[in-house]
Every structure is written in C-alpha cells, then in structure tokens.
Amino acid sequence: MLIDTAVVYTDSAIAKQAETLAFQLKLPLAQPGQLHELLLRCTPDGLELLKPDDPHLSGPVRVDFTAGAAAFRRKQQGKELLLRAVGCKIGRPLAVAVIDATGGLGRDSFLLAAAGCTVQIFERQPILAALLADGLERARQCRETAQIAERIQLFVGDAVSALHKMQERGQHAAVIYLDPMFPERRKSALVKKEAQMLQLLASAEAADEAQLLAAALAVGKRVVVKRPVKATCIAGPAPSHAVIGKTVRFDVYLHTTSNLKKANAE
C-alpha cells in the first residue's frame, strides 16, 4: 500500500529544488488546504520527513551525520559491537569493503565508513533514499565528515536483485550487512518517532528476511545480520557465531571458498 506523501518547501528560494525532487520521486507538491499522511519537507538546512497533525510525534525525521547520535557513535568506535562483527580493524583505512543491503537512515553504514570501511548502501524505498542522499551530501560538505562520506556509495534499488546479479556474474562480496528490523526495539522518544514514520514507508517495500539472507549468503564471504538480542535467527542456515550486546546482537555467517561455490551452484 502506497503512503499518501507530498513534497513541501519552506523557502521560495528552494521551490525549484522541491519541484525537481517531487518529479523524481513521482510525488505531488503539497497544496494549501490539502492533507497528506506524510510530508517530505525541503528546507535550507536539508530534507526532512514529518507526519503532520500527529500530537505523538515531536518533530521531523532527518539524516544528519555531522551532529548528535551519529557524531557520538563515530567517537565511540572502539566500543561498537558492529565493528567487531564485520571484522573491521580500527585504524586501517579501507580495510573492509561492506555492502549494506538495508540502508535505512544509514547510521550503521556511516559508522563503518568512519572506521575505515568502504560501504555500498542499497535502499529500495525512494523517500528513505532521498533522505539518505541528502544527509550524505551535507556530510560531504562538512570538513569533519567529508572523507567519511566519500567512502560511501548509495544505490537506489532492490538489494536482492543486485545480489542475484552478482551471483550470476560469479562475483563475491567481502562483507554483506543486513538490518531487516526497524528501531522499535529501542525505547527513546526519537526512535519511536522514527519507527512510526519509517515503518509506514517500509511496509510496502520491505524485502522478505529469509529471501534477503539467502541472496546475501550466495555471494557474501561474511554476512552480518542485526537482530534484537532475544529474537530468533532468520530462517535458513545457523550463524557461525554471534556478537551479543545488551539489546541487540549480530549474527555472523562465515563462508569458505568451497561453500561459496556450492551456494552459487544451487
């Protein structure tokens, strides 16, 4: 089911930018008096998503890698379980190439890039991809984050299809990262706000978890799956091991060359 979403702008100086975005996303421009479930708002400070007239939501969702939680996580790299799970070696630039097949708002990808990984992000939901592209562009313009953002490539499209094409060409990936869940697992007000809006968008776009894992296992030498700490594993082969935290865990699937050849032959 498509969510009723329109593009709106806050400054006449960016009206053309808003019109171009609406055309690219095949969304209407919001008109006075019209009601929409979600608004994608163009502002001089970037793109943001909001759910108007909802008293339970305190503000818009935006992607900002230059401040707030993203900046804090960059400074706490050594404590991040995700880096251990992907096999990232702190202080070795470009040491690990990662495909993030479930981009979302890109926070985990940006953390990986900050640790020296090169990251290819796939996001199939066009509005989420637009938010992510906007955040990456602003990160490239910030001196503190520019080099990190340059390690990230964003692809708008279905990761499963892309992984199948890799399999057909006999290509392998060093690390594939999957986070098929949304942030309702955490209890902060910010995450609740994001979860409500992102789940509205993702409901019609989400890939089947088992299908996504199978596609990743067919080409990935290491596949890392983020799960709530008490959740069952995704249907399929058992993980090789897990890196476990207080609220989340990372299931790690390791493949030898022979296993990859067997998966590609199936």
Does 179 count as an annotated binding residue? yes
User: Token pair for residue 32?
Assistant: 């006075």
SS3 252: strand
Does 108 count as an annotated binding residue? yes
By the 8 A CB rule, do 55 and 189 touch? no
Does 123 count as an annotated binding residue? yes
Does 227 count as an annotated binding residue? no
From the list 41, 211, 258, the residue with the least C-alpha distance to 130 is: 41
Cα gap 71→160, rounded to integer Å? 30
Q: How far is CA 66 from CA 115, 144, 253, in A?
A: 15, 8, 32
Sheet hosting strand 118-123, strand order edge to edge: 152-156, 118-123, 97-100, 173-178, 220-228, 248-254, 241-244
Give the residue numbers of the binding site. Answer: 107-108, 123-124, 179
Give the residue numbers of the binding site for S-adenosyl-L-methionine. Answer: 107-108, 123-124, 179
